[in-house]
Amino acid sequence: MLLLKAERVSGLDEWVTRTVAALTSEQRQAHQMVIIGLHFAARPVGNWPSFPAYLEHLAALEPAALHDKLMQMYVRVRHAEGVLCPTMLDEPVPVDLEAVLANPEAYVAFLIERFGPEHVDPDLERRAYAYVVDPPAMQALIVSHLREMWESYLAPEWERVRPMLEDAVQAAQQLDLAGKSDLQVARLITGQELDEEKWGPVFARAGQIVYVPSAHIGPYLGQVCARDVLRVLFGARLPDGVAFTAPDLSRAEILVRLNALADNNRLRILKLVSERGEQSSLEVIEDLQLSQSTVSRHLKQLTATGYLVERRCNGAKCYKLNPERIQGTLQALSAYLLGR
């Protein structure tokens, strides 16, 4: 999914942007089809010991099982704007699947009704329709593409970052989590001030919460909801206060923070907010004469990294400087390079 977001989101690990650049146009189209158009068919539900084991599972399924899995999710998932994880309805919405799959336009109309026009790419879904009504072709595409991605790109990178991720797990296991709420635990592990209004309901619905350190997600958080299991993806890090030595982890977190500062426009935004106090996104756009999409991308990275604090004000998003985060970055860099 990160490969598909690389052009719209700044601050992801360099491997992501480098891999996107290495993909052929055919690989990019297949990747978008598998990860977006056939998402719920390709997405795992449950656990496997390895990615190759999951690929073998997909290859051994009856093709109709993938088709049924996809359509069952479409009639049970309920999407709500502003909700981090879509909820699963206890009972599927009554749908005439024969009518839905009668032609590409009916299929696209069904998806727009279920998820809203802003979350559906009609052209992509029209192409996906050809696979949805041809389960053997859908299975062949999913398995062949994921296997190619694993062997060519993902497997070598997994082996490279695996020791660092194992360090992140060991460090997090040293935290004393006794008596702490789910939100407090999440803040300790991820190092981010999670918004209680957004994350509280998600944690409340989860029967199990699994934290997944990532070497590639940068300053952002990701979430994958499957049944009653919530998986929270976060940048691999050393939790504060843990006596654990892992130079690779320290360096990775410093790089994420410095990446946010290594851009002229992001520094201009920080300087503007520092001098004028809290600013709305519209004020930033007007003062710096940048496009809305550019400012939105920069503000998202600066907020995710913790340099700016975001809040709602008069229906808009407003941002103020977080001096403690800036000081913390300088201290982390000093500790890493100077030992103090």
pLDDT at 86: 58
Only one residue has tokens 């719920």, namely 40
Span 100-108, mean pLDDT?
96
pLDDT at 81: 52
d(CA 251, CA 106): 51
In this predicted structure, the answer to whether residue 114 has a pLDDT above a threshold of 90 is no
Confidence of residue 80 (pLDDT cuts 50, 70, 90): low
Span 217-238, mean pLDDT?
89
pLDDT at 85: 58
Cα-based distances in Å from 125 to 92, 99, 121, 132, 171 = 21, 16, 6, 10, 43
Q: Give the alpha-carbon dihedral of 68, 69, 71, 72, to 10 degrees.
A: 100
pLDDT at 45: 82
Looking at the chain, list the stretches that DSSP marks H as alpha helix, in order from N- to C-terminal side. Answer: 2-5, 14-22, 25-32, 39-42, 51-60, 63-76, 97-100, 104-115, 122-132, 135-149, 155-172, 182-190, 196-205, 247-261, 264-276, 281-288, 292-305, 323-338
Q: Give the alpha-carbon dihedral of 83, 85, 90, 92, to 10 degrees.
A: 90
Q: Is the dihedral of CA 131, 29, 35, 159 positive or negative?
A: positive
Strand partners, 229: 208, 226
pLDDT at 88: 59
Instruction: Region of 254 please: left (phi>0), alpha (psi -120 to 50) or beta.
Output: alpha
pLDDT at 255: 92
Cα-based distances in Å from 310 to 12, 180, 273, 278 = 20, 25, 12, 9
Contact 233, 223 (CB under 8 A): yes
Classify 266 as helix, strand or coil. helix
Strand partners, 233: 212, 222
Residues near 14 by Cβ (< 8 Å), separated by ≥ 6?
none
Enter the pTM of the model: 0.86
Contact 254, 9 (CB under 8 A): no
Contact 193, 221 (CB under 8 A): no
